[in-house]
Amino acid sequence: MSNETARSNETILVLDFGGQYNQLIARRVRECHVYAEVHPYTMPVEEIRAMAPKGIIFTGGPNSVFGESALKYDPALFELGVPILGICYGAQLMAHALGGVVQTAETSEYGKTDVVIRDGYYGASAVNSAEGGSLLFKDVPKKSVVWMSHTDRIVQAPEGFVVTAETADCPVAAMEDAARGFYAVQFHPEVMHSQYGKHMLRSFVLDVCQCAGDWEMGSFVEKSIQAIREKVGDGKVLCALSGGVDSSVAAVLLSKAVGKQLTCVFVDQGLLRKDEGDQVEAVFGPDGPYDLNFVRANVQERFYEKLAGVEEPEQKRKIIGEEFIRVFEEEAKKIGAVDYLVQGTIYPDVIESGLGDSAVIKSHHNVGGLPDHVDFKEIIEPLRMLFKDEVRQAGLELGIPENLVFRQPFPGPGLAIRIIGEVTAEKVKMVQEADAIFREEVESYQDGRYAKTLGQYFAALTNMRSVGVMGDFRTYDYAVALRAVQTSDFMTAEAAQIPWEILMRVTTRIVNEVPHVSRVMYDCTTKPPATIEME
C-alpha cells in the first residue's frame, strides 16, 4: 500500500536526523488530527516538494553540526517556503546553517530543566508574531519544565531571528524568524516530561502551519478499502494472520475490501499465549463472522527445531521471520496462484527496524519485504503508516469487537522473545502458564477496572536458575519475570506500580502451579532505557 492512502491534503514531514524520539514527534502531530510521516533527513528535496508538506520538523540526533560528525544535509531545505521547527539537534542545525553560532557547552543539560520564555513571547494573548508575541508559545506560561538532552548549544541566533526563551545554562533555548516560519527549540517538546510541549507542537501545526486538523480514522478506513479493491482487482490475497491486534485489523480490512478473494493463513508456530490458537480459529475460522477463507498451519515442532540451541534475540527473530515466510510460501502453493501477501506491519515496526541514520532498536520479521524467490507479486501493508492506538481506532471503525481491538499487544516472534536464552517446548509451556496466571489475576482485580489502566502486562522466563525449597526438597529451577507498563503510545512507558496483593497472589500461584519455576521477580525498568518486551 502506498502512503497516499493514509495521507490527507495536509501532511507534516518529520525529517529524522537520528533522534530517539522521531516517531514520538509524529505521534504528537497526529494527536492534533494532522497526518505526519517520518523520513530520513537525506530525503531528496524534489520528493519533499512533491509531497507538498504544510510544515517540516527536524528531529534531534546524536551528531554535532560541526566537525567530522556533521551530517550532509541539503541547504535547499530552507528554501522550500514552508514552516520549519527544529528540535534539539534540529535547532542547532537551523542556527548553524543560517549563520548563527553553535558551540560545545561548558555544562551539558540532560533531564528536566526550567525554561523561561522572554517577556512578550508567551501567554494566551501572544497570538500574532507581528504584535510581538510568539505563535509557538501562545498557550504557554513564562516559566515551565522542559526535557533537555544536549552537549552543544546555540550561543548566537542567526540574523533575522529573535531569541524567545532561555535556561540557566542555555542562552538560546528557543528562537524564531516568524517572517520565514522558522522556529527552533533546544529542548524536546514531544516527550511527556516537557510540561507544555504538546501545546507548543499543537501551536506549530495548527497556528504556524495553519493545518485544519481534520485527519480522521474513518476516512482512512474508507480510503484504504477502496484503494485495496482497486489494487487487487480480481487477484487472490494471502494474509499473515497471527490473531494479534495488528494482523486482525488488517485481515478484517481486507475482508471488507475483497471478501473470499482473501485467504488468511494462521501459523500456529508453538510460540503463542495459552489457548490462543483455538481462540483465533474461533474468531476467524469458518464459524466466525468474517467473509474470508481461513487456514490453520500447525507447525510447532518445525519452529522448535529451527530454534534449538539459539540464544541471541536478534537471531531468534530472524529465524522465526524466515520460517514464517517459508510456511506462507508452502501454504500459498497449496491454495494456488496468489498475487498479494498482506501483513499487519505498523509504523513503529518500520521505524524501529531502522530509518535513515536512526539506530535499529530491534528487527521486525514483518518489515522489509520478502526474499526475491518468494512467489508473490507484492506485499500489501494497509496499516504501515499507523501507530498502535490508531490501529485500534481503525478496528473500532471496522466494527471489530472491543475485546479483540483492545487485546494485549503481542510480538510477532511470539514467546520466543519472552524466553531469555534457548527456546524449548518445555520453556514455552512454562511461560504460557505463568503468563496466563498473571493476566487472569490482573484482569480479575477490581472487576477488571485496574487492567484498563495498564498498557501491557505479561510474564517472561529468564535464563536464571536458583536454589529453592519445595516441601522438604531442594530445587534448582527457573525464575519468571513479570512486566507491566503504563503507556499511551508504546514509544515511551513507565513501569506500573502493581498492587502488592496482586504480585503476592501471582507469585504464590506461579510457584505452586507452574513446574520448574521457583522464583518470581518484577521488572521496574522504564522505556527508555529498556524496551517493553524482555528481549
State the CB neighbour count (10 A cutoff) for residue 438. Answer: 26
Note every long-range contact of 44-53, with CB atoms under 8 Å and residues 24 or more positions apart, other chains counting.
44/74, 45/74, 45/76, 45/77, 45/80, 48/13, 48/77, 48/80, 49/80, 51/11, 51/13, 52/11, 53/11, 53/12, 53/13, 53/82
DSSP label at residue 373? T
Exposed/middle/buried for 407, CB within 10 Å: 0-12, 13-18, 19+? middle
Distance, in Å, from the CA atom of 202 to the CA atom of 213, rounded to the nearest integer, reads 10
188 is annotated as an active-site residue: yes
Distances (CA, A) of 58 to 7, 15, 316: 20, 5, 35
H/E run at residue 313: helix 313-335
Residue 35 CB-half CA count within 13 A: 20
**Phi and psi at residue 208, in whole multiples of 5°?**
-70, -50
DSSP label at residue 445? G
96 is annotated as an active-site residue: no
Beta bridge partners of 460: 481
Note every long-range contact of 373-376, with CB atoms under 8 Å and residues 24 or more positions apart, other chains counting.
374/325, 374/328, 374/329, 375/329, 375/332, 375/333, 375/338, 376/238, 376/332, 376/338, 376/339, 376/340, 376/341
Place of cell 509504523: 347
Amino acid identity for residue 283 in this structure: V
Catalytic site residue from 96, 188, 199, 365: 188
Distance, in Å, from the CA atom of 220 to the CA atom of 383, rounded to the nearest integer, reads 10
DSSP H helical ranges for 380-527? 388-397, 402-405, 425-444, 500-513
Catalytic site residue from 31, 32, 39, 88: 88
Cell of 100: 548563527
In contact, 362 and 314? CB cutoff 8 Å = yes
Q: Quick check: bond before 289 cis, omega within 30?
A: no
Q: Report CA Rg, the chain.
A: 25
**Phi and psi at residue 218, in whole multiples of 5°?**
-60, -45
Catalytic site residue from 190, 352, 390, 533: 190
Residues in the chain: 535
* Complete DSSP assignment for 36-93: EEEEETTS-HHHHHHH--SEEEE---SS-SSSTT-----GGGGGSSS-EEEETHHHHH
What is the set of active-site residues?
A: 88, 188, 190
